[in-house]
Structure 1
Amino acid sequence: MNEKEALILKLVKEDPFISLIDLAAKTDLSRSAVAGYISSLTKQGKILGRAYILPEKRQVLCVGGANVDRKIWSRGVLELGTSNPAESSKSCGGVARNIGENLGRLGNDVSVLTAVGDDHEGHWLMQYTKAFADVSPSETLKGHATGTYTAVLNHDGEMTVALAEMSIYDSITPEFIDRKWSYFASADFIMLDTNFPGEVLERIIDRCRKENIQLGITPVSSPKAKKLPQDLSGVTWLIANKEEAEALAGIDIRNEGDFFKAAEIIIHMGVEKVVISRGDKGLIYFTAKGEAGVLIPPAISIIDVTGAGDSLVAGIIYAHLNGIQTEDACKIGMACSILTLQSIETVNPVLNNEQLLDTYKQNFK
């Protein structure tokens, strides 16, 4: 931003309804020149639309999936090839949406950018999510069905298989992101999942790097992790599970050393901080500054694993935004994940700052 743009932005902040004539008089510029600067500031996301409306500051913008989660769990030992007695539930899901809800419950200023269908499921998702995050950046697309994710769990709560129908995200284009860029430019941190097409992910990563916007990425699955570009320069955090890390690093992870080898490869792709979760064995972290470590989780009773990875990400980003260093940020992420593992819901409805702090103290102090 140059001096003239900075001056115009200052004047607009003081009076969002100031006219071009008054702006021209106060800046010693022609009206056409002022209009040019206004156009530039709009493209940068510094102001929005007509009447020079200033963007509302959002601490975190979560970008990616918002789906209907359906869970079916066996009452007994799951037997393949035959009928199993089961119970089922339906809840709001989607990686980006889940992270946004977790962060919103923790008191962060959150917005969600996703796409849903013009159907009952899409309206329900947006209405529910409004309680925790601003959904105005999101889009309702006619002629598309809202994404769904169906998980089949065994009697211990472990996922046996999952089915995802998310073709709606294939309609998202780089131009769609460009039209929504004011929401990116006005955020302190972008949290991106990999539901959108590869060219869209690359556009977001590239623009965030050029505009020095903090960016975190969490892959949705190992196949979707492969959509990420090889150049991840400018990415602040990348948080993945074992299979996703294998897909990104291009190696098989067989032992603890391989976890760090994969993390180092991802660091060399340009990421500042890498976390690889290892299920009930905890996680490893590795940073471009040489920080590295292993965190082992406490033994707990698990009710349902769905959403635990998303809450881990949310806890880490929550800690990062509060200036907490890498190892403790990962511990807070694990504490957030513990709360989710002890709930049947994808996002634990009792999650708040106090619950998170209590869980952290009980398990990591």
Structure 2
Amino acid sequence: MNDVEALILKLIIEDPYISLNDLAAKTDVPKDAVAGYISSLTKQGKILGRAYMLPERRQVLCVGGANIDRKIWAKGVLELGTSNPAESSKSCGGVARNIAENLGRLGNNVSVLTVVGDDHEGHWLMEYTRAFVDVAPSEFLNGQSTGTYTAVLDHDGEMTVALAEMSVYDSITPAFIDPKWGYFASADFIMLDTNFPADVLERIIERCRKENIELCITPVSSPKARKLPDNLLGVTWLIANKEEAEAISGITIENEGDFFRAAEIIIHKGVEKVVISRGDKGLIYFTRKGEAGVLIPPAISVIDVTGAGDSLVAGIIYAHLNGIPTEDACKIGMACSIITLQSIETVNPILNNKQLLETFKQNFK
């Protein structure tokens, strides 16, 4: 930002309703040039749009998917090729949205940037989400259907297969993101899932790196993890499961050593801290500074695994924002995940700071 831009920004902060004529007069700069400087300030995220709206400071911006989750539970052992007795439910989902709601329930100032269809389900999804999260950065898209995720769970609550219909995200381009950069620039921390197209992911990663904005990436699935660029320099955290880590690292993980080898490859791509979850076997963490470890979860009764990975990410981000070291941040993430595993909801409605602290103390003394 040059001296003229700094002066224009100062005048706008003092009077957000100041006109172009007044800005030109007070800066001794032609009106068309002032308009150019304002355009530059908008692209930098210093102001939002033509009304000179100053971006509100948001602690976390979650970017990516917001879907309708449909879950089908088999009442008995699943048999392929035949009809199975089952129960079903519908709830709000989407990786970015789920993480945002978890963080909101933990008291963070959080917003979500996503797209949904301009349909009944999209409006229902956003109306529910706004109770915990600022949805102002998000948009309804005409002619598009809100994304859906359908998970089939066995009688033990483990996912056997999942089906995703998320073509709504294919329409997102870097040109959609650039005018919204003010939401990124005014955040302390960005959480990015991999629902958006590859060129959009690369643009966000590159701009966060250039502007020194902390960024956490969590892949949605192994196919979508392959959309990430090779250059991940500037990424603070990358939190993935085994299959996603294999897709990013390019190796097959067969034993505990392979988990750390995959993490090291990802670190060499530029990431500062890598966490790879291992389901009921816990997780491993590995950092550029040489921190490394394995965390084994306590034995608990699992009701539903859906959303557990999202709550793990939310707990780690929550801990990171509070200055908690890597190992303890991972433990807090696991405690958050434990709360989710003991609920049929994708985000457990009992989650709050007190519940998280109690779960942490009970399981990670």
What residue in structure 1 maps to residue 275 of structure 2?
A: 275
1:262-299 CA-partner distances (Å, limit 9, x unpaired): 00000000101100000011100011111111111111
Letter in 2 for 1:336: C
Q: Distance in 2 between matches of 1:67 and 1:339?
A: 21
Alignment pair present for 1:223 and 2:227:
no
> What RMSD over aligned residues (CA atoms) do the two structures have, in Å?
1.4
What residue in structure 1 maps to residue 77 of structure 2?
A: 77
What residue in structure 1 maps to residue 318 of structure 2?
A: 318
What residue in structure 1 maps to residue 290 of structure 2?
A: 290
Letter in 2 for 1:302: V
Letter in 1 for 2:189: F
On the 8 A contact 2:42/2:179 being kept in 1, the answer is no
SS in 2 for 1:97: helix
Q: Distance in 2 between matches of 1:133 and 1:3?
A: 36
Q: Distance in 2 between matches of 1:164 and 1:35?
A: 44
Gaps of 5+ in 1: none
Q: Percent identity?
A: 85
On the 8 A contact 2:112/2:137 being kept in 1, the answer is yes
Letter in 2 for 1:198: A
Q: Distance in 1 between matches of 2:180 and 2:50?
A: 16
Q: Distance in 2 between matches of 1:90 and 1:245?
A: 29
TM superposition score normalised by structure 2: 0.97
Alignment pair present for 1:62 and 2:62:
yes
Q: Which moved more, 1:57-66 or 1:90-99?
A: 57-66
Letter in 2 for 1:214: E
Measured after TM superposition, the shift of residue 58 of structure 1 is: 1.2
What residue in structure 1 maps to residue 132 of structure 2?
A: 132
SS in 2 for 1:145: coil
What residue in structure 1 maps to residue 232 of structure 2?
A: 232
Letter in 1 for 2:192: L
Give 1:81-92 correspondences, 5 Å limit. Answer: 81-92=81-92
Measured after TM superposition, the shift of residue 24 of structure 1 is: 4.6
Measured after TM superposition, the shift of residue 33 of structure 1 is: 4.4
Measured after TM superposition, the shift of residue 337 of structure 1 is: 0.3
Q: Distance in 1 between matches of 2:35 and 2:252?
A: 56
What residue in structure 2 maps to residue 262 of structure 1?
A: 262
What residue in structure 2 maps to residue 195 of structure 1?
A: 195
Q: Distance in 2 between matches of 1:112 and 1:275?
A: 23
Alignment pair present for 1:93 and 2:93:
yes
User: Between Structure 1 and Structure 2, how many residues are aligned?
Assistant: 365
Measured after TM superposition, the shift of residue 49 of structure 1 is: 2.0
SS in 2 for 1:59: strand
Letter in 2 for 1:261: R
What residue in structure 1 maps to residue 249 of structure 2?
A: 249
What residue in structure 2 maps to residue 349 of structure 1?
A: 349
Moved over 6 A (4+): none
SS in 1 for 2:38: helix
Q: Distance in 1 between matches of 2:271 and 2:317?
A: 15
What residue in structure 1 maps to residue 180 of structure 2?
A: 180
1:223-255 CA-partner distances (Å, limit 9, x unpaired): 110010101111111000000000110111111
Q: Which moved more, 1:262-271 or 1:39-48?
A: 39-48
Gaps of 5+ in 2: none
